[in-house]
Amino acid sequence: MAVALLGGRRFPALLLLRAAAGPCRHGPAGAAMQQGAAMQQGAAPEGGSGWLGALRFDNLALRSLPVDASEAGGPRAVPGACFSRVRPSPLQNPRLVAMSLPALALLGLEEPAGDREAAEAEAALYFSGNRLLAGSEPAAHCYCGHQFGSFAGQLGDGAAMYLGEVLGPRGERWEIQLKGAGLTPFSRQADGRKVLRSSIREFLCSEAMFHLGIPTTRAGTCVTSDSKVIRDIFYDGNPKNERCTVVLRIASTFIRFGSFEIFKPPDEYTGRKGPSVNRNDIRIQMLDYVISTFYPEIQAAYPDNSIQRNAAFFKEITKRTARLVAEWQCVGFCHGVLNTDNMSIVGLTIDYGPFGFMDRYDPEHICNGSDNTGRYAYNKQPEICKWNLGKLAEALVPELPLEISELILEEEYDAEFEKHYLQKMRKKLGLIQLELEEDSKLVSELLETMHLTGGDFTNIFYLLSSFSVVDSDPSKLEDFLKELTSQCASVDELKVAFRPQMDPRQLSMMLMLAQSNPQLFALIGTKANINKELERIEQFSKLQQLTEDDLLSRNKRHWEEWLEKYRDRLQKEIESVSDADAWNTHRVKVMNSNNPKYILRNYIAQNAIEAAENGDFSEVRNVLKLLENPFQEGEDFREVKEDAEEEGATAAAAACAQETRSRLPYSSKPPLWASELCVT
């Protein structure tokens, strides 16, 4: 991981940590800790006879795809196989951080009816990997990938382990994984472990995305332990011990675009190749398995023509991917690492690493601090996903000729993305009656106004449902403008956003090099980065002379101009209906079900991480509960804190909860300190 430098300061490479609030202990977690230790000593029989005893496994993937015959340990090449059998490495004293009951319900697990602490301890024991469930068959999946545009060769599940496939209560099939369970043949130079901070982020975001209505893998549990791994967060020679943590991930499948790249011959740029070159027989097996299992309607439509079947499959995954990234754009979600190995073969959001929800709207927002060129910036996500589909198309040859797949990609992707994006944006703006050509321009002008004013992406959209098109009272418009401008960046926030990032001497050297030796400059820097830094310096200089009153006046003028256009468009809606009041009620309802009040902002995740690192898991659980209802109005902290206290939190944990209450509401735009957070 790269060192993140902002404004000359050094920050942690995964997620910047503010000073912790002090030690806190969560009572039920401590009890579960003791229970878990007792169960490890043999109190529970092998296989899960308690709460988890109802899980029914049927591991179709391992029966359908080749499994590595070698039992050699340690990182190695895995040719001729899609899976390698593995064993989770035990953890010391596993204990539950949180569990998502809606996600676990997919597996047929209902809320524990009896002793909740015993159920939590059982979950910690089995979902840490310390004990295996009856019917599970741990394995690691082999795949390759293009990372930041370059083929990286064999990658695979370096920290995740397939446990098996659980049959849900309605007969559906769910693959379950443990992420962070130890070494696999694909761990390379890593240790197969994940730590508490990254695991909490993945756990919370998986569930947040589902409740936002966005296709995603799910997270059932997050289990931490007393086992430690060393992470040199700052890369400064001062390593830190961090707790090993495991997330239970759930999806129909974790097969990805990169799964089909294991057959790739030596890459012309990197020289790397897949481990199963010339094994077209396995490619055929994988296509048969994926299509028959996850696209059964396509298999049924083309039982005797594999080319037509494969073309229909590619068309469907193209359209699913286009719709998926359109959903991301409409909530301001940035994935951060859109490599081909992080693209789901069934169109899910997968592999939550350095993701981020955009706060201040910036089309060039980069959530991953190590994405130095901005390859995976917010506005680049649609074209990158299309590029990745192109790599999938190459990986399907000869079973799907490239001339067929490339035509499908060109005909379907952009059209599907634009159609779905505009449909979603119309709902977010309450344009529910008419579909006009001018709507696309209205959306673009809204985003431009957000950009000019530094508007908070989520909160601006959320406020728009309270804009009155019927009432022309000037005082109400003034009140609405006051609310809108309160969600725009302050002068101080803009100064942080546009703070120069390069040493002036370094910039001067790069500019001279660009003039004197363009070829060398092209090797060590990019013109786009230099131009962006020059723009940043210019903006920062202007901000030194800008007052808050001047900024407010300017922002109000921008919003007045856009609101006039928005009012005109809404008036056309009114003119097309017979009952304006009924239309307005429906408009507000549609907007409030498409514009979330709560998202997983980095600062919210960070507060939960800091509390958990001090032994208090209540904030993780509170945030999880909140994110299960992202569109719902509620009294931010009181609503979610009462249950935690009812569960019997200790006095120390209650003190931590009191401190959390004193922070900003969950729906607030980020505090200034949040701008220092950097994920990589």
* Choice among 341, 362, 371, 636 that is catalytic: 341
* Other Cβ atoms closer than 10 A to 641: 21
Model confidence pLDDT, tens digit, residues 264-302:
999 999 999 999 999 999 999 999 999 999 999 999 999
The reported pLDDT for the residue numbered 32 is 40
341 is annotated as an active-site residue: yes
C-beta of residue 380 within 8 angstroms of C-beta of residue 374 = yes
- Closest by CA position to 648, among listed 125, 22, 21, 25: 25
- Closest by CA position to 335, among listed 367, 361, 373: 367
Instruction: Tell me: pLDDT of 320 over 70.
Output: yes
User: Distance from first CA to last CA of the chain, Å, rounded?
Assistant: 7
pLDDT above 70 coverage of the chain, percent: 87
Binned at pLDDT 50, 70 and 90, residue 36 comes out as very low
DSSP state of 132: P
Residues 645 and 660: their CA atoms lie apart, in Å, by 13
Model confidence pLDDT, tens digit, residues 581-640:
999 999 999 999 999 999 999 999 999 999 999 999 999 999 999 999 999 865 444 444
The reported pLDDT for the residue numbered 634 is 52
DSSP state of 629: S
Instruction: Tell me: pLDDT of 26 over 60.
Output: no
The reported pLDDT for the residue numbered 528 is 74
Model confidence pLDDT, tens digit, residues 98-134:
999 999 999 999 998 888 899 999 999 999 999 999 9
| Overall average pLDDT of the 57-72 stretch | 95
- Output the average pLDDT for the chain: 88
On whether the pTM is more than 0.85, the answer is yes
The reported pLDDT for the residue numbered 531 is 80
Instruction: Tell me: pLDDT of 143 over 70.
Output: yes
The reported pLDDT for the residue numbered 1 is 38
Helix, strand or coil for residue 357? strand
The reported pLDDT for the residue numbered 519 is 74
Maximum mean pLDDT: which of 38-47, 64-73, 148-157, 472-481: 148-157
The reported pLDDT for the residue numbered 568 is 96
Instruction: Tell me: pLDDT of 151 over 60.
Output: yes
Residues 215 and 238: their CA atoms lie apart, in Å, by 40
The reported pLDDT for the residue numbered 113 is 82
Instruction: Tell me: pLDDT of 647 over 60.
Output: no
* Other Cβ atoms closer than 10 A to 381: 20
The reported pLDDT for the residue numbered 234 is 60
**Would you list the DSSP string of 45-69?**
-TB--SGGGG--B--HHHHHS-B--
The reported pLDDT for the residue numbered 637 is 44
The reported pLDDT for the residue numbered 47 is 64
Model confidence pLDDT, tens digit, residues 420-447:
999 999 999 999 999 999 999 999 999 9
Min mean pLDDT across 65-79, 198-212, 637-651 is at 637-651
For the chain, give me the number of helices (H) and strands (E)? 23, 14
The reported pLDDT for the residue numbered 500 is 86
Cis peptide before 398 (omega within 30 of 0): yes
The reported pLDDT for the residue numbered 222 is 98
pLDDT above 90 coverage of the chain, percent: 74
Instruction: Tell me: pLDDT of 40 over 70.
Output: no
Burial of 378 (0-12, 13-18, 19+ CB in 10 A): buried
The reported pLDDT for the residue numbered 426 is 98
The reported pLDDT for the residue numbered 501 is 81
The reported pLDDT for the residue numbered 4 is 37
| Overall average pLDDT of the 566-573 stretch | 97
Instruction: Tell me: pLDDT of 29 over 70.
Output: no
The reported pLDDT for the residue numbered 520 is 66
Model confidence pLDDT, tens digit, residues 362-400:
999 999 988 988 999 999 999 999 999 999 999 999 999
Instruction: Tell me: pLDDT of 311 over 50.
Output: yes
Binned at pLDDT 50, 70 and 90, residue 540 comes out as confident
The reported pLDDT for the residue numbered 648 is 43
**Would you list the DSSP string of 476-494?**
HHHHHHHHHHHTBPPHHHH
The reported pLDDT for the residue numbered 539 is 86
The reported pLDDT for the residue numbered 508 is 79
